[in-house]
Structure 1
Amino acid sequence: MPTSDHRAAAHFAPEPRPRLTARGLAGMAVLYLVFAWFYAWVIAYAVRGFQPNALPDYLGRVLLLDYPLKVLWTLPVWWLLFRGPLLRVRGSRRLLAHLGLAPLWVGAWFGSYYALLSGLGLGGIGGDGRIWDVYIPTLFYGVQFGVFHVVESTQRLRWQAGREQRLREQAHHSEVAALKAQINPHFLFNTLNAISASVPPELEATRGLIARLAHTFRFALEASRQELLPLADELTFLRAYLELEQFRFGERLHTEFAVQETLLAVRVPPMLIQPLVENAVRHGLAPSVGGGTVRLLIEPHGTAAIRVVVADTGVGLRGQLPAGLLLSQAGLGLRNTHARLLALGSSGLEISTNLPQGLRVSFVLPLRHPLPAAPPVAAVLTTTTASA
């Protein structure tokens, strides 16, 4: 039975590459046998006047020599189209690829087949009759790769349907979780405000801490009701969150923000960066005796996307692979963020070691609208360093 980790992995599993299954190989074997019999019958019919009852001889030759060679030359073309450099070619470009590959395939088969016949001392079709050894292989090439593409499209549609179903289920679970978290939120805010009001004046720092906590909860609640928020609001929330963590970590926590000012008005999904920052603090810096620094970099990526990088100088992967981190209990926030990014059209999180020490998590977020024009001078970065 699949575990929760396996189900979570399905959310961010990449689109599977086409593969040859036992059923698929059996189907192709049937296709080859049907075409082999058809080809042998056509040749036997064409020579019936001077070579009667030639069907068994030609059928044996086709099954033992002809179509095994077709299989041999099909393998590299199949690899190029479905596993190799032409995997991502789609539409008319794929048709153009076939217009180039089909003559090569037919020519390679034709040359090797007649060379094999000559080496074995067997005669082949001569004269104008050899046109059949061009026409029928060309027809066969089109049919077999048409079948391959139909199977590929079926597998892709099935994978997309499953992915959409998993994302819908995740969205439903998220909505339920959000509803549970939002039960009477005003009770929480009012309680925090009451606690803040009861704090004596000489503990003003504590009063401010409680106020920031209430503000952070209120922003999180309001953000959950918004599809998009300005990046500036997201950064304000992140700074408030880090101020709360600063109270706990003291000198062990340092933060740096590097964001191009022209990006502050860009609208992004809320609470998308915070889980990455929280993961850096909790699982990167907290286990480190000396603490460290969390750096946030946001920069343009092309004309309609931004790149977000959260790097820390904490304990790093500690021998764990990036994929393993996404599946671990500590990577729950990363896993959920990765799934959200995939649903937004992003390629998801990229996790690597932050040299010389720590962890680096980044992603590219496609935007609904093109980015504003860059300033004529070098990009201006706002940098904030917080320490106790």
Structure 2
Amino acid sequence: MENSMRPAPPFMAASAAARQRFSWGFAAVMLAVGLLHSMSELQQYRAGGGQHPWEPFLWELSSTLLTALLAPLIYRLHARSRRQQGWLPSLGLHLAGALGYTLLHVTGMFGLRFAVYAVAGVSYEPGHPADILLYEAGKDLVSYGFIVGLCHGLQLHEASRQREQDLLRLQTELAEARLNRLAEQIQPHFLFNTLNLISSVMYEDVPRADRIVCDLATLLRQALTAQENSRHTLAAELALVRPYLAIMQARFGERLQVQVDVEEAASVCLLPSLLLIAPVENAITHDVAHSAGLVQVRVSAAVREGRLCLQVANSGRAPERSERPGSVGLSNTRERLRVLYGDAARVRLSADGAGGSLLEIELPEQRA
């Protein structure tokens, strides 16, 4: 059964949103670190008689900018190192990565500084390249190790989330398979009973059998429509129930009286497809068939305090038969609702005190 009304799994959108939030957060943190270092350097710069207050900001922000740009490469390198067989290949990969990070960081940082100094028309003499590389290498190794540790934590977190997503996907697929199995039990159940009904009256009353066949055609047409979605509105569910009730009235005649009382607010609420067919069928085929007198069957629905309240009541026999082993009626209904709603759904079957039965179903209110 196709579930076209089911929303996309939330973890997919959440993962993309989380990555976007992390990217902005990382950029904000790197900018804050660069500004804090710049303010600290500015104090020393002024104490040393510096003439250009923007220089400390250039020095520190150029370093943090290159670090931020190279961090994603380190993240990918660490992910690759975790896939290596043994710690020696992983260590070798990180040694090469640390060397490459140092060279790229120093080259890019000083290249940016020279460009800004040239535009500003200010002389810049940082020292001999070998001395610069040796001085920056020590700091860059510490930075590389810190970034690798951060990347390792992030990748462990992502792996944990991926396991949770896989588990959620498996649980969703299992729930869908169980719902399909339950729905497949319901559909032939009432169909076979209806065909038996047609067979029982076709030789006694041809016009009545013809009307039943027409109602059955309507019922099957609506059932095929219901198969396209695992959930539909209560109004769509009643479009299935009413032809079935017409078939049953054709069978039992004046012995069966039917009343459908549904509030307008309830008719647009969503519920599992074919939810009411089995309870209505049980109320009629078991109660009316075993009662010599008039039996009234009432289907009602209302919305109360954010919950859809459904009732199937009949004035026939008490409902002990609905709990019998192997029944596809009440037990099937309970299982479907448990899979879909967990503890948020409630099903209760009781005697009404006058020899009849009352089935009450409560679901969370969900509108189409």
Identify the TM-score tier after normalising by the shorter chain: 0.3 to 0.5
TM-score normalized by the length of structure 2: 0.44
Bigger radius of gyration: 2
